[in-house]
Structures are given as structure tokens and as C-alpha cells.
Structure 1
Amino acid sequence: MSHLLKPLEAGSLTLANRLVMPPMATAKAGADGSVSQDVLDYYAEKTEGGYLPLVIIEHSFIQLAGKASERQLSIAGDSAIPGYKKLADVIHRNGSKAIVQMNHAGSAADQRVTGIIPVGPSAIANPRKGTVPHELTIQEISEIITEFQKAAQRAKEAGFDGVEIHSAHGYLLNQFFSPLTNQRKDEYGGTVLKRIRIHLEVIAAVRKVVGKDFPVLLRLGASDFTEGGSTIEDSIVAAQEFEKAGVDILDISGGFCGYMMPGGSSEQGYFSPLTAAIKKVVSIPVILTGGITQAQSAEGLLAEGKADLIGVGRVVLKDSNWAQQAVNSLL
């Protein structure tokens, strides 16, 4: 049987095949971050037929200070729940499972959008934005952890099948993980274990409100691919800690390099060296995304044990029927 068409169980999630629609910002939310009709129509179209059994919706900000851009989805207040309920229903009707990706942009937030001075682990210029953030106090870190917790509770209440904690692409949790932006001298900075302390506290806080059977994913920017930045060695340590802490699935991408390799790469599954290394040390499923546009390539990456699930982003963005064609080509 095709590797891509094999079902997968992860925690309480049962998936019919190995395809995942990864989070991609659409800028279709209402001006206040609400779920608009445009958002509902977009996800209805992308999930039609249920060929993408797992859909991780685009990043939702957990507090205004962490908003990355205009028309980004907001899960920052209880008033968001009815809109998210509609979104979960649309995706479920098509036979797919739906995950909310919760995010805080940290020093990548846009002050013109938020009206708030951006925050970060250290008062160091963001390598991608140039913004020098306000250095978070221990009290402020604790408040952000609580906001992640509340956001997870809202996602569960809205009927979503799980949540994903965003620590990739140079956003706040990734800023703590990366030595480029985390030069703290307290318990949140220094060794890898100290740099992921905030992650472990977020995971614990989320678990406390969603219970043990609600899937919690974590997206990890597993390397900055930059001198002095985070490395795959750091991520091997972090991944094992995240599994111990109760993460159900690891979703691997880039750190400060974003979702592309530095210099660009046209290789199918260009982050596969990262996922292959992490897969060796964890027993939970690992998602690989990055340039995968052909069903045969996805099949090959799974067969070689490079990953357990394959994220197909840009190709699904361009062609809503891609997943159906991919599945049919392997039958």
C-alpha cells in the first residue's frame, strides 16, 4: 500500500492519509481579526472532499501585542469563539480535522498595526525586521503563557480538534529558542533547556485546560541556518523535551530563515534533513513541509522515513484540487 494513503493515529486524532494543509496566512480576516465569510469560503474550498485530513489554519494572534499583520485572525478574546465555531464546522463538514495555530509575533509584531511597542526575550534587533523590542519581564512572560492557555481553551470550546503552538519563522517562541535573539541571563536564557523553558510552560498551561486527550502540536523552527543561530542539535534536544511534555505531533519548519531555505531551494521537501534527524529521537509523528508539489516525492519522503506526515502548502494554495489528484494518482 502507498505510504501516503496509510491512515495515521496520533493521540486522539485519526487521519485517513498522510497529507496536511499547513498554516498559511491569507489576510482574509475581518479588520478586527474576526472569521470573515472570505475565510470560511477559502477553507471550504481547500478542504472539499476531505482529501487533506488534517488542516492547520493560519496563525491566530493570542493578544494584540502579538499581532503580526493586518487582517490576521484573532483568538485573543472570547468574542472570537462563535466565528471559530463556524470555521471548525465548515472544515468538519468536508471530512477534515481542524487545528488552530496560536501565535505571538514578539519583535516581529508591527507597531503600526498594534499601536504597542513590540516585545521580545532580549532588547536585540529582530534579524528579519530590525525592530528592537522591549525585553519581557518574568511577570510579562507569565502573562503571555496565560494568553496561550486561554487561546487553547477557546479553540477547544469552538469545536476544533487540537491546537498548534507556533515556535517557527522568527516569531516570539522562536525568538526565545534562537540564540540570535535570546541573550537573557535568567532562567529563560542560556542553554537550550533554558531557552525552551517558556515552551514547556506554555505546553503545561495548555494541557491543564484542554485535558490529556486533546491534541497539542508544536511547530518548531528547527534551524536558523545562520551563524550563531539555532541548530538541528538544539532541536534534537528540544524535540525530546517537547515529547516528554506531552506534545502529540511536531511540525518542523525553518527558524529565522522562515519557511524557505536561505538562498532558496527547489528540492522537494527541503527541510527533510531536519525532520529525519528529529524523527530518529522521538516516537511522535513529525510533519515535513517545504516545496513538496508532487505526490511521488511525498511518497518517497515517507518511504525513506524522513517524516510521518507531509505538509502541502503553496501547491494547495495554487490548486484546490491538488490533494484529490495526488490521492487518486496513488490508488
Structure 2
Amino acid sequence: MILVIGVPHLDTPISIRGVEIRNRIVMPPMVRFGWAGPLGEVTDRHVEHYARRARGGVGLIIVEAAAVAPNGKLAAAQLGVWDDMHIPGLRRITHACHRAGAKILLQVGHAGGNTTFDNIGETPVAPAGVPLPGKEALGAPRPLTQAEIRGIVRQFGLAAARAEAAGFDGVEIHGAHGYLLSQFLSPVTNRRTDEYGGPLENRARFLLEVVREVRARVGPGFIVGYRLGARDLVPGGLGIEESQRVAVSLEAEGVDLIHVSHGVPGEALPSVPPGSPYSYLVHLAPPIKAVVRVPVIAVGRIVDPGIARSILENGMADMVAIGRALLADPEWANKAIAGRDREIARCRQCEGGCRRARDECPVGRD
């Protein structure tokens, strides 16, 4: 539930499952490819990267996707949370961010068919033997058996328990961007004929089982968030009306926070309404917010503090995710809250270091 009266501003606190967050600014998960150790370990670079944004005033940090299983990696060098050995390194991140006053979630995910043999050493798995649109050259993934589906549900639960042991305030389950949970939800990639395919209630079954398992494995004060791919960017894909129904089900299963993004990717984002100052992704948040009572995060190239303020003040979302702009200026939150907008080192939207991820942002360097 949202515990606030009146119109929220960037510096308005928010309470989620009893966790007090100092403001409405979120650092969304942005994978820093190549930073993790060979077994998915946290490195010093990760710790300082997140600590800088916590010191910079961010209210809620969502750490980049950590794989719940070795065959769920989206890249060869990616953070892992599939083994207890990952807990000490992850704890270094939580301690550093908590010391700076931020709250912190770990995004947990499984790439499914949105990875390669080279990344995981085996044929990727998916709901069905259907490659993602635009990635047909990589070959067809292997369809999961029902026993394997049950195993992955358990892996998500164990990953959440490890995140709690590492001191995180919660997890965000990755259900967007064409990764495994998004693949199950999409009629484009889910061609199953059993109880996990077909109508929406079947396509949503797996992700709701994951939420149920995660909630059962963690304590009552632990936040369970969900990144929802609210609309696929390919013809015949998931639409916003179905996603609204999914959002209602997520809330009923105990999800505390919904972070709205896109589903299965395509060639390009659809156009935004004429004259709109917001990106297409921002426009996906209000329809989800309209059907749930839990807080909703808007995301999508929000680089200007004025735009972030207007999203909150116009009731489009309860929190705003500032991604690339925080790579450009780790002090974005402090400066925006203080009204020092002109001092912010501006993201150029150059598709530079943030797109290649291994490289540094040409504006702000870690």
C-alpha cells in the first residue's frame, strides 16, 4: 500500500510493506556486462557503482539482474544468485547502499531463450521451441518440461531467500524484455498446448507460481516487486488489456511494487502521442496504475527532473526510474531534489557506454 497524502513530489517518502523509502527516485536495474566474476561474483566495481548512486540521493536502488540458475544467464559474465557462495559479495552491496541511506532490491531473473549457447554452454530453454523475433539466426530454444518448470519456480524462491540473507530489502522478479517469464506471458513465444500455454490464465500460470514461491520463501517484511512487460513490441504480442489483468493477479498474489516496461522486444518502440514529453514506455504505466493499489514505477528515458516531477504530480506513476541519467551523473537525485537542475551532468542519449555496457558513460565515469 502507498502511505502518503496529497500530491507526491520527488522528495516525498513512501512506505512499501513497512520499508520506508526516503524519496520517489528509483535506480532501475542496468546490467554492467563484463563486470561480474567468472562464477557470477560481485566485484569491487559493482559495490562502488551502486554506493555512488546511494550517496547521490537515490531512494530505491534495484541492482542489475542476477541469474537464478547458470543456464539462466543472459551473458557469460553476469551476477549470479543461484548459489550460497554469492551471498557475501551481494551483502557488500547492500551494506554500502544502506550506509548511504538508500533501500535496495535485487532483480532476479532467468533469460530463457533470450541468451546463447556460448553464454551458458548448452541450448537455451524456453516455453516452446520458438526463437525470439529477430533472433532466428541463433536457432530454436529447447522447450521446457513441466518438471523443469517446477524446478525453475523453486530456483526463483531460493534466489529470493539468498537475497534476503544478503541484506536486501526485497527482490524484483524480472518479467519483462523478452526474458523467460515474459516469454511465457507472450502469445508470440508461448506456443505450449498444456496448462502453461493458450489462454492468458495459462500463460500467466508460471509467473504467478514464481511469485507464490518467492513470497513463501521470504519474511513478511520483505518487498516482492515485479517488472512487468506490459506490451510486446511485435505484431500479435501481449497487449495492455491483458497486462492489466496480469497486474491485478500479481497484486493478489502478494506483489508489492510493479515496475512497468515492455515485453518481447521488436524493431522499434511505437510512436508516442503527438506533443508528449514522455517516452513510449512511460505511457504504459498509467493503465497499470489504474487497476492496482500497489505502487507503480514509470521508466523510459526520464533524464530531465522537470519531466520526472510531472510524471508524479500528474498521477502517472508513484515512483520514477532514472536510468541512463544516473550513469551520467550519480548525484542526479540530490541535485534534482534541491532544485539544482542546471548543475546536472546531462545524459546525451548517445547510446554510448550505457548501450555497450562494458564501456563507461562518456559523461559520468565510474
- The TM tier, using the shorter chain, reads over 0.9
1:29 alignment partner in structure 2: 36
2:204 alignment partner in structure 1: 196
**Cα deviation, residue 53, structure 1:** 1.0
The letter of the residue matching 2:179 is Y
* 1:169 and 2:170 aligned: no
Q: Per-residue displacement from partner, 1:52-73 (whole Å, max 9, x unpaired)?
A: 1100000000101111113210
User: Aligned Cα RMSD in Å?
Assistant: 1.9
**Cα deviation, residue 257, structure 1:** 2.4
Alpha-carbon distance between aligned partners in 2 of 1:150 and 1:260, rounded to the nearest angstrom: 36
Alpha-carbon distance between aligned partners in 2 of 1:10 and 1:128, rounded to the nearest angstrom: 38
Alpha-carbon distance between aligned partners in 1 of 2:327 and 2:134, rounded to the nearest angstrom: 24
Structure 1 regions of 5+ residues with no counterpart?
Answer: none
**Cα deviation, residue 212, structure 1:** 2.7
1:121 alignment partner in structure 2: 127
CA separation of 1:152/1:93 partners in 2, compared to 1, >3 Å: closer, same or farther?
same
CA separation of 1:134/1:231 partners in 2, compared to 1, >3 Å: closer, same or farther?
same
Q: Per-residue displacement from partner, 1:41-95 (whole Å, max 9, x unpaired)?
A: 211222214x111000000001011111132101110110111111111111111
1:181 alignment partner in structure 2: 189
* 1:209 and 2:217 aligned: yes
Alpha-carbon distance between aligned partners in 2 of 1:197 and 1:220, rounded to the nearest angstrom: 14
CA separation of 1:269/1:327 partners in 2, compared to 1, >3 Å: closer, same or farther?
farther
- Percent of paired sites with the same residue: 41
Q: In terms of mean alpha carbon deviation, does 83-92 or 267-276 score higher?
A: 267-276
* 1:93 and 2:103 aligned: no
Where do residues 1-331 of structure 1 align in structure 2 (5 Å cutoff)? 3-27=9-33, 28-49=35-56, 51-130=57-136, 131-257=139-265, 261-262=269-270, 267-329=277-339
**Cα deviation, residue 102, structure 1:** 0.3
Give the TM-score normalised by structure 2.
Answer: 0.86
Counterpart contact for 2:289–2:317, Cα < 8 Å: yes
Alpha-carbon distance between aligned partners in 1 of 2:300 and 2:15, rounded to the nearest angstrom: 23
**SS of 2:338 mapped into structure 1:** helix
Q: In terms of mean alpha carbon deviation, does 267-276 or 159-168 score higher?
A: 267-276
Give the TM-score normalised by structure 1.
Answer: 0.95
Structure 2 regions of 5+ residues with no counterpart?
Answer: 1-6, 342-366
**SS of 1:273 mapped into structure 2:** helix
Q: Where in structure 1 do 4 or more consecutive aligned residues deviate above 2 Å? A: 128-131, 257-270
Alpha-carbon distance between aligned partners in 1 of 2:202 and 2:234, rounded to the nearest angstrom: 20
**Cα deviation, residue 261, structure 1:** 2.4
Q: How many residue pairs align between the two structures?
A: 330
The letter of the residue matching 2:157 is Q
Alpha-carbon distance between aligned partners in 2 of 1:282 and 1:195, rounded to the nearest angstrom: 20
The letter of the residue matching 1:302 is L
The letter of the residue matching 1:46 is R
Q: Per-residue displacement from partner, 1:122-176 (whole Å, max 9, x unpaired)?
A: 1111114324110001000000001001100100011110001001010000000
The letter of the residue matching 1:301 is I
